[in-house]
Amino acid sequence: MYTDIAIEHFTNPRNVGVIEDYDGMGEAGDPSCGDYLKIYIKVENDFVKDIKFKVHGCAGAIASSSMTTELAKNKPVMAAFAITEGDIINALGGLPEEKVHCSLLGALALKKAIIDYAKTRNKDDNSL
């Protein structure tokens, strides 16, 4: 059963869309269920100033993607990079056991977007 927070993020997802002039973009998918997520970030002064996502997936994937963007927005890049699937699940107040894997998509796509940002800025991944 979904929590009220998860239902709110599924029915009213935050930060949906594309940032055309993004600084980093990350993708993650789950071939077993067909969920697919893209996260776009805009960074200013080493803070995630804007973040958007597009997802093709179930209620759990939509809620997790929405919460991922809320957790990362306006955070220092390193703090956003440290967001885990556990952080996403906790912020949603839990997910049904069979939907826990959805939170991994958000954490993974966010990390990939930040790595993409670091690479395009000629930084090595250890100096984010």
The one catalytic residue among 33, 59, 100, 115: 33
User: Is 58 annotated in the active site?
Assistant: no
The one catalytic residue among 71, 83, 102, 108: 102
Helix H or strand E encompassing 70: helix 59-72
User: % helix / strand / coil in the chain, to the nearest 5?
Assistant: 45, 25, 30
User: Is 102 annotated in the active site?
Assistant: yes
Residues involved in catalysis:
33, 102
